[in-house]
Structures are given as structure tokens and as C-alpha cells.
């Protein structure tokens, strides 16, 4: 979700990236580091919201460990609700749109 106002300050825009995950322990750290670097290159006003949809592996723990370093938010479901349900809480009011 991006927000841009033509002629805005310094031409910057905000960007919220919602990432639903389920059992991604093998790739999640590499993916989130690459995503954070890409967003940082695009705009200083961005956020990453990771929704762990009831992973049974270490996905949630890995994301929690990276949360402060990469400045991301983790929403951790206790069980699998499906991708649509995983996306819903993050769409209510992403910080980058405030």
C-alpha cells in the first residue's frame, strides 16, 4: 500500500509491505533482508508487516529475532487461518499511511 502526494515534501512517499508467511524458516531471513534493503532504497518511509499464519516451524521465532534490526512488525497467529485472514489485520491501518 503506497501513499504519494504529487509535489509532496522531497518527493517521498510511504510504503507498507504485508508479508503473509507459513513454514518459511528456510528462506524468511534472506527474503526479509532483501525486502528491507529494497524498501530502504525506494523510500525512507516504509514498513514491513509479517503475518505468521500459524507456522509449525521456526518461522515466527526467526522473524521475531529480526524485528528490531529490520524495523518490522510481526503479527503471530496461533494456528493457520489462510492467506486472506492473514492479510486482514495488516490492512486496517498500516503505519505508513498515518
Query: What is the structure's pLDDT at 77?
Result: 87
Residue 6 and residue 75: Cα distance in Å, rounded?
32
Closest by Cα among 5, 34, 8, 7 to 19:
34
Please state, in angstroms and rounded to a whole number, the distance separating the CA atoms of residues 11 and 27: 33
Report percent pLDDT > 70 for the chain. Answer: 73
C-beta of residue 87 within 8 angstroms of C-beta of residue 51: yes
Strand arrangement, sheet containing 14-21 = 2-3, 14-21, 45-53, 72-77
For the stretch 47-68, pLDDT in tens is: 999 999 999 999 999 999 999 9
pTM tops 0.95, yes or no:
no
Amino acid at each position: 500500500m503506497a501513499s504519494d502526494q504529487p509535489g509532496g515534501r522531497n518527493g517521498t512517499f510511504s510504503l507498507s509491505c504485508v508479508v503473509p508467511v507459513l513454514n518459511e524458516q528456510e528462506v524468511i531471513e534472506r527474503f526479509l533482508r532483501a525486502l528491507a534493503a529494497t524498501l530502504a532504497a525506494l523510500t525512507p518511509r516504509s514498513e514491513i508487516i509479517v503475518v505468521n499464519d500459524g507456522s509449525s516451524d521456526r518461522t515466527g521465532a526467526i522473524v521475531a529475532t529480526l524485528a528490531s534490526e529490520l524495523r518490522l512488525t510481526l503479527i503471530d497467529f496461533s494456528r493457520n487461518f489462510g492467506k486472506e485472514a492473514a492479510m486482514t489485520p495488516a490492512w486496517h491501518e498500516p503505519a505508513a499511511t498515518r
